Amino acid sequence: DTGVSQDPRHKITKRGQNVTFRCDPISEHNRLYWYRQTLGQGPEFLTYFQNEAQLEKSRLLSDRFSAERPKGSFSTLEIQRTEQGDSAMYLCASSPGGTGGYEQYFGPGTRLTVT
Amino acid sequence: LAKTTQPISMDSYEGQEVNITCSHNNIATNDYITWYQQFPSQGPRFIIQGYKTKVTNEVASLFIPADRKSSTLSLPRVSLSDTAVYYCLVGAYDYKLSFGAGTTVTVRA
């Protein structure tokens, strides 16, 4: 399967712990996106990479959140000192460069539960 | 980004055609209309995109009237596997997709 993959698929953590999620985009895609989705809502944009450069961060991405994409390949999203409000599905997507930014390919997501 | 309004939910039966209308009164000249589908516990999947008139692919058709203030996603002969949330997005070429709450379509046998 050559789609976007995310690991882990599920994560349960206690409040105050740090968690890290990984996303592997489609190999030839140089754009990578992170979204967060809570129950009953559509995904909300968090951040965007063009190759290894992080070009925009939503104000939803507080100082406890950090994302990286070393060497423009896989990406990681880390949440420090998790809070119960961080419980959500974290989705990664990728797309090729050039036009067509509205067609993004999403992974299956990582469901985070903070207890 | 243009605000969109779509029904919260729709019910249908297998074999029927489902039409979901999305209102976007403030659509700008450069905006495209894009629809995504999301199954439970999966990420959204791009279905179709259009600018004006009609666009058709193997999954759906998208009808856009001349004033572009609304659009209709048409799913022909739905099956149980078409049960999902469908999102209407309106905007110019951009990297930030802006999803609303979507329309939950439930297909019954």
pLDDT digit string, tens, across residues A78-89: 999 999 999 999
Percent of chain A's residues with pLDDT above 90: 79
Contact A40/B93, CB-based, under 8 Å? no
- Give me the residue from B34, B41, B100 closest to A42, CB to CB: B100
Sheet holding B9-13, edge to edge: B9-13, B103-108, B84-91, B32-38, B45-50
Q: Are strands B18-23 and B70-75 parallel, antiparallel or unpaired?
A: antiparallel
**Taking the alpha carbons of A54, A8, B34, A96 in that order, is the dihedral positive or negative?**
positive
**B43 close contact with A: CB closer than 8 A:** yes
Shortest distance, CA A79 to any CA of chain B (angstroms): 20
Q: By the CB < 8 Å criterion, does A99 face chain B?
A: yes
DSSP at A97: S
Q: What is the mean pLDDT of chain A?
A: 92
What tens digit of pLDDT does each residue of B80-97 get?
999 999 999 998 766 788
Q: What is the pLDDT of residue A99?
A: 58
pLDDT exceeds 90 at position B47: yes
**Which residues, at least 6 apart from B51, have a Cβ–Cβ distance to it below 8 Å?**
B32, B33, B64
Q: Is B2 helix (H, G, I), strand (E, B) or coil?
A: coil
Question: Which residues of chain A from 55 to 74 reach within 8 Å of chain B, CB to CB?
Answer: 55-56
A45 close to B (CB below 8 A): yes
Mean pLDDT of B21-43: 93
pLDDT of A1 > 90? The answer is no
Query: Is pLDDT at A98 greater than 80 in this prediction?
Result: no
